[in-house]
Amino acid sequence: MGSSARKKQEKKKDFQKPKYKVGKAKPKASNFTDTSFKSKAIVMNQQSLSTAAPDVVQQFKHNLSLASSSRSDKQRRDALAYLTSQLSSHPPINPVGTNILLSKLLPLISDSSTPVRSQLLKLLRVLPEEEAKHSTEQAIMFIRAGMTHLSADISGDSLGVMEWLLDVAEDELVTIPGGWVKTLSTFCVTMGWSLASTVPGWTSAARSSLRAKDAQTLARQISILSRFLQAGLRSETAAVPSSEEYWDSFYGLPRSSNAFEYLNLFGSRRDEEGEMYPNREARQQVFYRRFFEPVTKGIEKVKKEGGAAGRAAVGLDQVLKDGMGDYAASAGMDAQDLLNLW
Amino acid sequence: MVKRKVAALEKIDADFASLQYKIRRDPKSYKDDFLKQWEQYEAQREIFFTSPTTAAADTVESFHNMIDLIAHVADCYPEETRTFQDDLKAIVSQHHETLHPELRDKVVGSLVLLRRKEVIDSTSLLTTLFPILVSSRSKSMREMLFQKILSDMRNSNSKSTNHPLNRTIQAVLYNLVTADRSSPRAIWAIKLTRELWKRQVWTDAKPVDVMKEACLADNEKVIVGATRFFLGGDKEREELEDESSDEEIDLAKVKHQITINKKSRKQKEAYRKAVDKVKKQEKKKSKPHPLNFSALHLLHDPQLFAEQLFEKHLQGTKNKLSLDTKLLVLQLVTRLVGLHKLTIVPLYSWFIKYLTPKQQSVTSILASLAQGVHNLVPPDVLEPLIQKIANEFVSEASASEVAAVGLNAIREICSRQSLAMTETLLQDLVQYRKSKDKGVMMAAKGLLSLYREVGAEMLKKRDRGKDATMGLSSGMMKQRKFGEEEIGGIEGLDLLAKWKEEQRKRKRAEKGLPEDGSDDSDDEKDADEDDGWEIDSDDSSDSGEWINVEHSSDEEDEPAPKKRKGENADDDEDEDEEANAEDEAAELERMTKLATTTILTPADLAKLQELRAAASVQKAMGARARKRQQADSSNNGATHHQDDGLTAENIEAPIRLRKLTKEEKVALAKEGKPDRDEHKSTQAIRKSKKDAAGKSTSNREKQRKKNFLMTLGKAKSKQKRSLVETRKVLRGHVERSTRGGRRRNGT
């Protein structure tokens, strides 16, 4: 029949040899895939072509950008290590300035990789203290974010950064806007000392699991908190007045970066949390009103648990007694009443 | 935002999803964790606000995550998250231009989520989102916001109409439209209003007011949008309603499927949903139809509005609108004029310069003119227009299409105001019914038949036709004067009266009384027995017979004029006329009497409805369709409702009269034929198609292709057959062919 003839033809086709002809291109195989492509331009992500090796400044900046924005953990860590070595050389090499360096690197407090975070802490330690002071406000924001991070590792490591900040700029830390109240509330929240009025009744939400590691962290938190409170509630001694300073205060140009910050001329309105608490009394007042009760309760609880945390709590108790011993709740009008009136 | 890879350990640690799940399941025990996250959120917010524009990808991502988490659990801790909504509102309204797109979307989504959880109310949500919608420069953002706003409006109006919210939003829209007439921002007000109108969320006068203001804007886009709403918004609404009611669910089918397929929870759910839907639909059916007025009827002070529209967009020379827009506005103005019978005298003289065949889209201008005419327009204003149309369009020299358009336009105008025509012009135009072109001929005939009804005196005697001549001579037919209105009545009331009369007669016949007895006693009895207040079931079945009235009985109903022509002599015609007139008067009186002396019961009204339906059935069957046609109904078949506007298609000749273009002819010829890539016979092409589709060959083909050698044997044996055998075979063949083949017909 007709169809069988056709089928024969088809079968035959498979075994036919391709005929090569002189002067013609070789016929393409049946399974040939065309891999050529056309493009108007070829884009390269990074390209650095230069004959000379980059100078130190360039290299520093390159590493800084790597540290702040590279996607690979190792690269970030290595870049940080490079920066650390540069900063710790004599004399320290820092072409960008501490402030910019910090603003780039502080977000790494919440970095997901542990080696990066520990390297960051090393770097912070070698920064000159005098210059790092001016970035306190920025630093404390990132530290607060780190301390409340969902990951326990990150919040633990950011305690180290907090320690560094206390070493470097404890006076600034407690006086800047938001530095006192917000940091205290962060501490309380991380330790689970609830700020809200406690629910009447017997049962309280128990700390879900008190593993050894948690206990260690708690001890560390408490000891750092006691350092913080110490800094904030330390009794101030008036400096011996000198006539030069007196006249300077009137006629000399202020030397701090934002001398009239307490007037808050350009920022948004601050609430109680974001307010500045420039002197000890103000800090005592707000501490007494908002934190005294939860903190003392927390101390009691931790003391009962004993261990390292208990010992730290005893220290904290002592600090509290020293700091708040001479405070008497005044019935007079304070800043809060004024704020409420607004 | 490319997500940074998360280390495995961290993944377990920083799992927002599981935390969210836990918190939502047991808010009390996870309060500490929540508070920690809240602090984290605060910190992130602070960091973000230090530089919202230049935030790094990491910062944005972590802030994004925090917003997501807090928004999902906000309803568990209303006290702690008091400030959250204000934060979100501030973020999105201050920084929406510079925010990272994903973060922006997340913030908006979270606000909507808060609304769904009823943490915030609709008003505050919409007043936050709407200004952003209006001012945003991102297209995707606007689209999303529009969707969100719309769905929120629908949701909050779904159970019952949320009047306070509607009022607030309508006020916002109104202000938006009226605040800056020249800005294109008002387009959003229009879009929103139109959408809500379409879905019948808003059906009152206030959105119409918004649209009215938008019509008077300076921005062309806004004008077009608003005008289109008036011209098509109601149709759109009806269509949507039809669509939604169309989808029927076959419950039996669903049930059957369940018995066959695997039984699963999903199936059960589907069945339950189907049942719900059917129930809902039934409920909807039994509900009284919501009384939705069209936007044109809800307008406040249409006279002023139409005047303003005309003056602002059409009359002056200053306006820079394009012709299409002008046409739309013109349509709206004339529609308003026609519908509400407004008087804008300068409107008609404005038309004059546009009435030439060369004018672009002149048919729609003509249609607008026609729909802007009503019976209260002074005829002397229209006369020059009709004269001009006749001069410009209808002449021997002009193309047949043009002439047809002109005649149709004149007919449409005159059907609304018949007094605008002069006698000589009419007689001239009517001459075109002898035209060779079908379109012109039909148009002229249309005009003729129109004037036979409304103004037969203006026609020549031989053009008047039988009915009109008789009507004129009997004095029944008179041209209506300017401003004269038809005496109103209830449609079909005469039918009801007649039916009642018949009923009464039948009853009397049953009782054996003379049919035309005194009514006094019977009426009361009738009232007792038959004309019950309620609609009876047997009542309707009874009337079911009545609908199928045969043609002959219909003729018996009104035989008067026919008989008279055949039988009556000339001399007693006068008397007959008088009698006829008296009859008419008596009938009129009886009709009005029924309406004025008795209260129509629901049963009566139902009967009235039935009678009307029966009458319209008869009319459709063609009994006396021509005669009963109203003056305002157009002559090309379908009758218009007055609310529907006139379009250019009504003016142009019917499409089948138009000459086909070459492409159309070719397309028509090609229809149903195989495409001819290669030159083969049609048969061959069909066959190759069949092969390609994998179909088998027909029996005939198989027979033809059969190997010759295989057929030989049978051929040989055929020759050897005896006569008896041959006869048997032949008989069998005949029998088979009568039965319809071996397989028989019909089994």
* Cβ-based neighbours of A229, under 8 Å, separated by 6 or more: A287, A316, A319, A320, A323
Distance from CA of B261 to the nearest CA of A (A): 43
Per-residue pLDDT reduced to its tens digit, B614-628: 877 766 554 444 444
**pLDDT computed for residue A212 by the predictor:** 56
Whether A219 is in a domain gets the answer yes
Q: What is the pLDDT of residue B519?
A: 46
Q: What is the pLDDT of residue A205?
A: 47
Question: Does residue A332 form part of some domain?
Answer: yes
**Residues in Cβ contact with B705 at an 8 Å cutoff, skipping those fewer than 6 apart:** A1, A2, B697
Share of chain B above pLDDT 70, in %: 79
- Please tell me the distance in Å from B53's CA to the nearest CA on chain A: 15
Tokens 């043009």 sit at which residue? B402
Report the domain count for chain A. 1
Round to whole Å and give the CA distance between B542 and B606: 13
Across the interface, whether the CB atoms of B43 and A144 are under 8 A apart is answered yes
The answer, for B28 touching chain A at a CB cutoff of 8 Å, is yes
B79: closest chain A residue by CA: A196
Nearest Cα residue in chain A from B5: A71
Q: Is B43 helix (H, G, I), strand (E, B) or coil?
A: helix
Distance between CA atoms of residues A335 and B3, nearest Å: 45
Answer whether B14 sits within 8 Å of A149, measured CB to CB.
yes
Tell me the chain B residues in contact with residue A69 when contact means C-beta distances shorter than 8 Å. Answer: 56
Distances (CA, A) of A30 to A16, A20, A27, A33, B220: 13, 15, 9, 9, 60
pLDDT of residue B305: 93
**Whole-angstrom distance, CA of residue B327 vs CA of residue B334:** 10
* B291/B711 Cα distance (integer angstroms): 79
pLDDT band at B607 (very low <50, low <70, confident <90, very high): confident
Q: Is pLDDT of B332 > 90? A: yes
Are A145 and B40 a contacting pair at CB < 8 A?
Answer: yes
Cβ contact, residue pair A1, B707, below 8 Å:
yes
Is A211 within 8 Å of chain B by CB? Answer: no
DSSP calls for B336-390: HHHHHT---HHHHHHHGGG-STTSTTHHHHHHHHHHT--TTS-HHHHHHHHHHHH
CB of B309 closer than 8 Å to CB of B332: yes
CB B190 within 8 A of CB B220: no
| CA B533/CA B604 separation, integer angstroms | 8
Give contacts of A214 with chain B, Cβ < 8 Å.
Answer: none
Helices and strands per DSSP (H, E), number in chain B: 38, 0
A205 interface with B at CB cutoff 8 Å: yes
Q: Which two tokens stand for residue B692?
A: 């390609």
Give the span between the Cα atoms of B6 and B25, in whole angstroms. 26
Nearest Cβ partner of A141 from B38, B47, B62? B47
What's the pLDDT score for residue B98? 85
Question: In this complex, do A205 and B31 lie within 8 Å of one another by their Cβ atoms?
Answer: yes
Query: Is B59 near chain A, with CB under 8 Å?
Result: yes
What are the angstrom distances between the C-alpha of A101 and each of A84, A110, A115, A132, B726?
11, 16, 19, 10, 114
pLDDT-based confidence at residue B570 (cuts at 50, 70, 90):
very low
Q: What percent of chain B has pLDDT over 90?
A: 25
Q: Is B7 on the interface with A (CB under 8 A)?
A: yes
Residue A286 domain flag: yes
Model pLDDT, residue B68: 92
- pLDDT given at position B625: 40
Residue B226 burial (C-beta neighbours within 10 Å; 0-12, 13-18, 19+): buried
pTM score, whole prediction: 0.67
Q: Does A296 touch chain B (CB under 8 A)?
A: no
Residues of chain A falling short of pLDDT 70: 1-3, 195-213, 237-239, 255-259, 262, 266-272, 329-342
**Mean pLDDT across B175-191:** 89
Residues 6 or more apart in contact with residue B342 via CB below 8 angstroms:
B302, B303, B306, B336
What is the domain extent for residue A218?
177-197+211-235+260-342
- Interatomic CA distance for residues B87 and B89, integer angstroms: 5
CA distance between the termini of chain A: 103
Segment B139-159 shows an average pLDDT of 91
Residue B330 pLDDT > 90, yes or no?
A: yes
pLDDT at B406: 92
Task: Examine residue A49 and state whether it is found in any structural domain, yes or no.
Answer: no
pLDDT at A270: 64
| pLDDT of the residue at A208 | 44
Contact: B36, A190; criterion CB under 8 Å: yes
Q: Do A151 and B13 touch (CB under 8 A)?
A: yes
Whole-number pLDDT of residue B254: 78
Provide CB contacts within 8 A for B200, sequence distance 6+: B237, B241, B290, B292
Task: Name the residue in chain A with its Cα closest to that of B47.
Answer: A141
Q: Do A151 and B39 touch (CB under 8 A)?
A: no
Confirm whether A229 is domain-assigned.
yes
Residue B533 has pLDDT above 60, yes or no: no
Integer-rounded Cα radius of gyration of chain B: 38
Q: Is the pLDDT of residue B555 over 80?
A: no
Which H or E run includes B408? Answer: helix B400-416
Q: Identify the structural domains of chain B with CATH numbers, from first to last.
A: 301-475+647-657 (1.25.10)
Q: Is residue A129 part of a domain?
A: no
At A327 the pLDDT is 76
Q: What is the pLDDT of residue B171?
A: 92
Residue B695 pLDDT greater than 60, yes or no: yes
B690 touches chain A (CB under 8 A): no
- Chosen for mutation from A45, A70, A138, A141 (greatest number of chain B CBs closer than 10 Å) is A141
* pLDDT reported for residue B226: 93
Instruction: Give me the pLDDT at residue A336, please.
Output: 57
**What gap in Å lies between CA B497 and CA B490, rounded to an integer?**
11
Q: Are B2 and A155 in contact (CB under 8 A)?
A: no
Between chains, do B13 and A152 touch, taking CB under 8 Å as contact?
A: yes
Q: How near does any CA of chain A get to the CA of B138, in Å?
A: 28
Interface test with A, best of B19, B37, B40 (most A CBs within 10 A): B40
Phi first, then psi, for residue A129 (nearest 5°) are: -65, -40
The band of B5, judged by pLDDT with boundaries at 50, 70 and 90, is low
Q: Which of B46, B80, B688 to mutate to test the interface with A (most CBs of A within 10 A)?
A: B46
pLDDT in the model for residue B148 = 92
pLDDT in tens, B424-450: 999 999 999 888 888 888 899 999 999
Contacts of B50 in chain A (CB under 8 A): 138, 141
The beta-carbon neighbor of A113 closest among B7, B36, B58 is: B7
C-alpha distances (whole Å) from B253 to each of A108, B234, B245, B257, B277 are 63, 35, 19, 6, 14
Question: Phi and psi at residue B457, in whole multiples of 5°?
Answer: -65, -30
Q: How far is A78 from chain B (nearest CA, A)?
A: 18
Q: What is the pLDDT of residues B258-275, one digit of tens each?
A: 788 777 888 888 888 888
Binary contact (B43, A186; C-beta < 8 A): yes
Are A225 and A192 contacting, i.e. CB atoms less than 8 angstroms apart? no
Using CA atoms, how far residue A14 sits from A1, A2, A10, A191, B569, in Å, is 21, 20, 7, 79, 102
B39 interface with A at CB cutoff 8 Å: yes
Select the more confidently predicted residue: B667 or B41.
Answer: B41
Lowest mean pLDDT among B146-150, B301-305, B554-558, B611-615: B554-558
CA distance B59 to chain A (A): 8
In the prediction, which pLDDT does B28 show? 84
Q: Give the pair of three-digit tokens for residue B218.
A: 């300076």
Chain B residue with Cα closest to A152 = B13
Q: Which of A165-169, B348-352, B552-556, B601-605 has the lowest mean pLDDT?
A: B552-556
The complex's ipTM?
A: 0.75
- Flag whether residue B157 sits within 8 Å of chain A, measured between CB atoms: no
Q: Count contacts between A and B (CB, < 8 Å).
A: 81
Other C-beta atoms closer than 10 Å to the C-beta of A309 total 24
Q: What is the pLDDT of residue A297?
A: 85
Nearest by CB to residue A112, choosing from B10, B16, B80, is B10
Report the pLDDT value the prediction gives residue A79, as an integer from 0 to 100.
Answer: 93
Q: Is it the case that residue B108 has pLDDT exceeding 90?
A: yes
Give residue B430's pLDDT. 92
For the residues of B232-269, what is the DSSP string, one character each?
Answer: HHHHHHHHHHHHHHH----HHHHHHHHHHS---HHHHH
Q: What is the pLDDT of residue B149?
A: 92
End-to-end CA distance of chain B: 71
- Asked whether the beta carbons of residue A107 and residue B10 sit closer than 8 angstroms, the reply is no
In a domain, A131, yes or no: no
> What distance in Å separates residue A223's CA from the closest CA in chain B?
20
C-alpha distances (whole Å) from B657 to each of B650, B653, B660 are 13, 7, 9
Q: Check if B17 contacts A (Cβ < 8 Å).
A: no
Confidence of residue B629 (pLDDT cuts 50, 70, 90): very low
